């Protein structure tokens, strides 16, 4: 490990701890009738936390407000985690394993899992709108706007609807890209843009960061599809080979494995170019996060 | 019908049309893969729209910003409507009839119903955070804060978790009140407070409106419990006698029917007193809404 990598890994470790501590504080342990327990099970102590890392790295790159970024990081992770809870339920993907643990509905029952997901989505917007002076109200509104639009019908939920409808139906490559842009891409991009919103950016920088976020959003999914066929469940912490079994279209099924790998690398290069075009002098961590997305093995 | 009632009913009709037109515009018809269709089915053309009426009447009483109030009215109705979609699902109440129509999961399948509910919650926050100048950003943030807190673990979702856990377990009266305060009361109260937030209010007025909202929130549920045993399914547009069948505690089962009726009237009187204490000169519609909550027959 060279010094640059070592410094990056130290930053990752420190940031993950900060996010974990904040989630530990903000996800209630005292919500009624076991709801808090289910919420905490779903979001604490697991996951790669890529979205929070993107928020925090982008905020640092633009010299933004760290308190706002930490809230944005936790909010976007809550949205991501709630979507996994609902996605794993029997009426959706019917999955029993997530992050190496039984899924929330297996552990707490379907009704509690649905409510926990619902409450986590609401909590994301609670976290973004604190009383008091820590986060300026206009920034609170901007963060809510970015998050809601990436999570809703035009974004994540819409992508999941396409995903549902696509089982057993061959999607062509443009449709597959559109699905993934919505399903995972827009929330990853929103993570970057929420970080950017915590500071001041020129329109050029904003557009470059949006471009970066879009590229790594798609790269993330391409790599997910590759890992689904090349890794086993134990490494992934979730059921491997699932998309293939369900006859779901993936980048691997549409492009083939080698072309999918090349595509992931092209997207990483695109992300690096976008950072170069951003005019930001402090984007090394964003650059390394792009590498991390493509080179991960789980 | 006296003149005061006639004027009120005209206002109700006009306001409901305004809310319906706005929802028609904001709930997407073009969301992918049938998601928009399910969302529109769930929220358009039905329901009493009590929450939007409370938002709009309160905004008018405080001389607030109508554009912001219309967005708040639609947002709170979206939250309410999503909660019904999820609540009706087989893993929760397993209901097949709502507003006289098949429930969303019966019509569109469980997965689409879950996604439609999820997307409706996100849409509520999209509606509250428009680009441009119609709603000042600080007000956007305030509305998001009020809505998220009433919908989440401490509010509606938490109340539903208590409800889930209470089936077959006798709740005492304080616990029953706590459950309903969270499950329906806080969102009704938030409707009032979101309307109030659209204008300028003194702390005294704010507290009085919160008191009013709390009283009608509870009254609404007491009346719901009465109607559940005194009306048939056709009048209610949903399955009657359901709580009794499920051995769920209700105000009728805890207090008895006569005492429940008296309690509803006391709560209406309390609501009227709160309005008198508010110092608002223009609260007649709020007063009549309190009557409407208690005197409704469906």
pLDDT in tens, A17-29: 999 999 999 999 9
Mean pLDDT by 10 residues, chain A (298 residues): 88 97 96 94 91 98 98 98 97 90 96 98 98 93 98 97 85 89 96 98 98 97 92 67 69 92 96 97 96 90
Establish if A29 touches chain B: CB-CB under 8 angstroms.
no
Distance linking the first and last C-alpha atoms of chain A: 20
- pLDDT level of residue B171 (50, 70, 90 thresholds): confident
Q: Is B45 exposed, middle or buried (0-12, 13-18, 19+ CB in 10 A)?
A: exposed
CA atoms within 13 A on the CB side of A244: 15
Whether residues B154 and A28 touch (CB distance < 8 A) is answered with: yes
Chain A residues touching B29 at Cβ < 8 A: none
B142 touches chain A (CB under 8 A): yes
Q: Is A157 on the interface with B (CB under 8 A)?
A: yes
Residue B246 pLDDT grade (very low, low, confident, very high; cuts 50, 70, 90): low
Q: Is the pLDDT of residue B47 over 90?
A: no
Chain B (168-187) residues lying within 8 Å, Cβ to Cβ, of chain A:
182
Is B164–A125 a contact, with Cβ atoms under 8 angstroms apart? no
For B3-295, give the CATH class. mainly alpha
| B125 touching A (Cβ < 8 Å) | yes
Q: What is the chain A residue with the closest CA to B179?
A: A32
The reply to whether residue B31 touches residue A110, judged by beta carbons under 8 angstroms, is no
What pLDDT sits at residue B169?
A: 78
Angle subtended by helix axes A284-295 and A203-230, to nearest 10: 20
What pLDDT is recorded for position A70?
98
From chain B, the residues in CB contact with A118 under 8 A are 82-83, 86, 117-118, 121, 157
Burial letters for A20-59: b for 16+ Cβ neighbours within 10 Å, e otherwise? Answer: bebbeebbbeebbbbbbbbbbbbbeebbbbbbbbbbbbbb
What is the least distance, in Å, from the CA of A72 to any CA of chain B?
14
Residue B68 touches partner A, C-beta closer than 8 Å? no
Nearest CA in chain B to A127: B145
Mean pLDDT computed over every residue of chain B: 93
Q: Does A132 touch chain B (CB under 8 A)?
A: no
For chain B, the three-class secondary structure string (H helix, E strand, C coil) is CCHHHHHHHHHHHHHHHHHHHHHHHHCCCCCHHHHHHHHHHHHCCCCCCHHHHHHHHHHHHCCCCHHHHHHHHHHHHHHHHHHHHHHCCCCCCCCCEECCEECHHHHHCHHHHHHHHHHHHHHHHHHHCCCCCCCCHHHHHHHHHHHHHHHCCCCHHHHHHHHHHHCCCCCCHHHHHHHHHHHHHHHHHHHHHHHHHCCCCCHHHHHHHHHHHHHHHHHHHHHHHHHHHHCCHHHHCCCCCHHHHCCCCCHHHHHCHHHHHHHHHHHHHHHHHHHHHHCCCCCHHHHHHHHHHHHCCC
Q: What is the structure's pLDDT at B241?
A: 65
Q: List CB contacts (< 8 A) between A151 and chain B.
A: 122
Q: Is A111 in the B-facing interface, judged by CB distances under 8 Å?
A: yes
Give yes or no for B144 touching A (CB within 8 A): yes
Name every chain B residue with its beta carbon within 8 A of the beta carbon of A33.
158, 161-162, 164-165
Our CA-based measurement puts residue B191 at a distance from the nearest CA of chain A, in whole angstroms, of 16
**In this complex, is the C-beta atom of B86 within 8 Å of any C-beta atom belonging to chain A?**
yes
* Cβ-based contacts of A92 with chain B (< 8 Å): 111, 114
Return the residue of A nearest to B82 by Cα: A118
- Using a CB-CB cut-off of 8 Å, the residues of chain B touching A160 are 115
Beta bridge partners of B108: none
- Characterize B128-145 residue by residue with b for buried, 16 or more Cβ atoms within 10 angstroms of its Cβ, and e for exposed: bbbeeeebebebbbbbbb
Q: Tell me, yes or no, if B76 comes closer than 8 A to chain A by beta carbon.
A: no
Q: Given a cut of 70, is residue B243 above it in pLDDT?
A: no
Which H, E and C letters describe A229-259, residue by residue? HHCCHHHHCCCCCHHHHCCCCCHHHHHCHHH
Yes or no: say if A123 and B148 are a contact pair by the CB < 8 Å rule: yes
Please state the ipTM of this predicted complex.
0.95
pLDDT of residue B233: 64
Contact between chains at A153 and B128 (C-beta distance less than 8 A): no
Instruction: Provide the pLDDT confidence category of residue B235 given band limits of 50, 70 and 90.
Output: low
Which residue of A111, A141, A148 is in closest CB contact with B122?
A: A148
Mutate to test the interface with A, among B84, B103, B152 (most CBs of A within 10 A): B152
Residue B279 clears pLDDT 90, i.e. is over it:
yes
Of A242, A224, A225, nearest to A233 (Cα)? A242
Among all residues of chain B, which has the CA nearest to that of A178?
B32
Least Cα distance to A213 among A115, A289, A296 occurs for A289
Pick B10 or B100 by higher pLDDT.
B10
What are the tens digits of pLDDT across the range B257-271? Answer: 999 999 999 999 999
CB-CB under 8 Å, B123 with A152: yes
Q: Of B31, B110, B164, which has the smallest distance from its Cβ to A33's Cβ? A: B164
CB–CB contact A141 B141 (8 Å): yes
The string of pLDDT tens digits covering residues A43-61 is 998 889 999 999 999 999 9
Residue B207 — very low, low, confident or very high, per pLDDT cuts 50/70/90? very high
Q: What is the pLDDT of residue B277?
A: 97
Is the model's pTM score more than 0.80? Answer: yes
pLDDT at res. A233: 64
CB contact under 8 A, A161 and B131: no
Whether B70 and chain A come into contact, CB under 8 Å, resolves to: no
């Amino acid at each position: 490990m060279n010094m640059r990598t070592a410094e990056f890994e130290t930053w990752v470790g420190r940031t993950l701890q900060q996010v974990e501590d904040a989630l530990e504080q903000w996800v209630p342990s005292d919500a009624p009738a076991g709801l808090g327990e289910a919420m905490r099970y779903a979001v604490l102590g697991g996951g790669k936390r890529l979205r929070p890392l993107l928020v925090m790295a982008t905020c640092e790159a633009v010299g933004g407000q760290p308190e706002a970024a930490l809230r944005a990081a936790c909010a976007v992770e809550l949205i991501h985690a709630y979507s996994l809870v609902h996605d794993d339920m029997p009426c959706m993907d019917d999955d029993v394993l997530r992050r190496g643990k039984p899924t929330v509905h297996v552990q707490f029952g379907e009704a509690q899992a649905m409510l926990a997901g619902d409450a986590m989505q609401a909590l994301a917007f609670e976290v973004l709108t604190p009383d008091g002076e820590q986060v300026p109200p206009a920034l609170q509104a901007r963060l809510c706007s970015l998050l809601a639009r990436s999570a809703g019908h035009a974004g994540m939920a819409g992508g999941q609807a396409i995903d549902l409808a696509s089982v057993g139906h061959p999607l062509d490559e443009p449709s597959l890209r559109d699905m993934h842009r919505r399903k995972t891409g827009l929330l990853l991009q929103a993570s970057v843009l929420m970080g950017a919103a915590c500071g001041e950016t020129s329109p050029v920088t904003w557009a470059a960061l949006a471009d970066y976020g879009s590229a790594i959003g798609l790269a993330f999914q391409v790599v997910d599809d590759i890992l689904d066929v090349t890794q086993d469940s134990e490494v992934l912490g979730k059921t491997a080979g699932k998309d293939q079994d369900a006859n779901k279209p993936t980048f691997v099924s549409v492009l083939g494995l080698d072309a999918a790998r090349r595509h992931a690398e092209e997207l990483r290069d695109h992300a690096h170019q976008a950072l170069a075009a951003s005019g930001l002098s402090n984007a090394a961590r964003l650059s390394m996060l792009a590498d991390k997305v493509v080179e991960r093995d789980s």
